[in-house]
């Protein structure tokens, strides 16, 4: 891969990456600032997309059209959907889907986008493997998991919603952008991977845990992305 797009939804997810870049040129489009330059010697474009699936999809398409990226990494934080995945741990996507896509009235299973021939968007195997190996090296104090990431325009902070996401989709974690980036990557036939550090448990404790742990969690992803790009 020659040029990698790196998307975070929020400033805390991308600010350290931007600080560590060299030879940066800045271009603004669709109210998003695209920072093109070198990260650890690798050509990258780092951008804060803003929150939610629409922002994430628009951002990914600009990366493809205007910057010709040939791969996308989505980095950030997420709510855990598994007891054994703790705050600070990292989930590397096997695949991603939109948990709020619902056309069951027409016979589609929840999460399935009507008239698309995939149920979930599968992450690139090489990027996945590289992420897991790199994570073990740079974040030895936490655990790294590989599993499905479920995205929706919803901050999940209730045990009932959490249980639905587990039962319906067997999700490992939930967030608000990954599957939209995955879908845009799929449509453009470029590889992607989603890397998410856990900031909360997506249950009734999420609203208090999230602000307490978001910064620490985001740091784990930054460390992972910086080392990972060296070897892409």
Catalytic residues: 13, 200
* Contacting positions for ligand ADE (CB under 6 A): 77-79, 155-157, 174-176, 199-200, 202, 206, 210
Say how far apart CA 173 and CA 41 lie, in whole Å. 31
Name the residue among 39, 40, 8 with its Cα closest to residue 181: 8
C-beta of 6 vs 45, nearer to ligand ADE: 6
> Please, what is the minimum distance in Å from the beta carbon of residue 79 to ligand ADE?
3
> Please, what is the minimum distance in Å from the beta carbon of residue 135 to ligand ADE?
18
**Residue nearest ligand ADE (C-beta atom):** 79
C-beta of 70 vs 164, nearer to ligand ADE: 164
| Secondary structure (3-state) at 219 | helix
C-beta of 222 vs 229, nearer to ligand ADE: 222
> Please, what is the minimum distance in Å from the beta carbon of residue 103 to ligand ADE?
22
Say how far apart CA 60 and CA 83 lie, in whole Å. 32
> Please, what is the minimum distance in Å from the beta carbon of residue 212 to ligand ADE?
12
Residue 230 DSSP code: G
Q: How far apart are the first and last CA of the chain?
A: 6
Beta-strand pair 42-48/32-39: antiparallel
C-beta of 2 vs 208, nearer to ligand ADE: 208
Q: Which residues contact 47 (CB under 8 A, 6 or more apart)?
A: 5, 6, 7, 8, 14, 32, 33, 34, 35, 59, 63
CB atoms within 10 A of CB 68: 12
120 burial level (CB within 10 Å; 0-12, 13-18, 19+): buried
């Amino acid at each position: 891969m020659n040029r990698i797009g790196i998307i975070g939804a929020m400033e805390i997810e991308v600010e350290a990456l931007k600080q560590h870049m060299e030879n940066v040129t800045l271009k603004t489009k669709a109210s998003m600032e695209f920072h093109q330059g070198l990260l650890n010697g690798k050509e990258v474009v780092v951008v804060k997309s803003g929150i939610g699936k629409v922002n994430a999809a628009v951002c990914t398409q600009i990366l493809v059209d205007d910057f010709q990226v040939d791969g996308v990494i989505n980095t950030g934080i997420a709510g855990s959907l598994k007891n054994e995945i703790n705050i600070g741990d990292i989930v590397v996507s096997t695949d991603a889907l939109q948990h709020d896509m619902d056309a069951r009235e027409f016979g589609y299973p929840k999460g399935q986008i009507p008239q698309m021939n995939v149920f979930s968007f599968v992450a690139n195997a090489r990027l996945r493997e590289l992420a897991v190996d790199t994570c073990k090296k740079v974040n030895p104090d936490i655990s790294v998991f590989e599993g499905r990431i479920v995205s929706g325009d919803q901050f999940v902070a209730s045990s009932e919603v959490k249980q639905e996401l587990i039962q319906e989709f067997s999700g490992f974690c939930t967030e608000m952008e990954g599957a939209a980036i995955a879908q845009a990557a799929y449509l453009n036939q470029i590889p992607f991977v989603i890397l998410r550090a856990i900031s909360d448990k997506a249950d009734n404790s999420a609203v208090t845990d999230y602000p307490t742990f978001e910064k620490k969690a985001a740091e784990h992803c930054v460390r992972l992305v910086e080392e990972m790009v060296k070897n892409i």
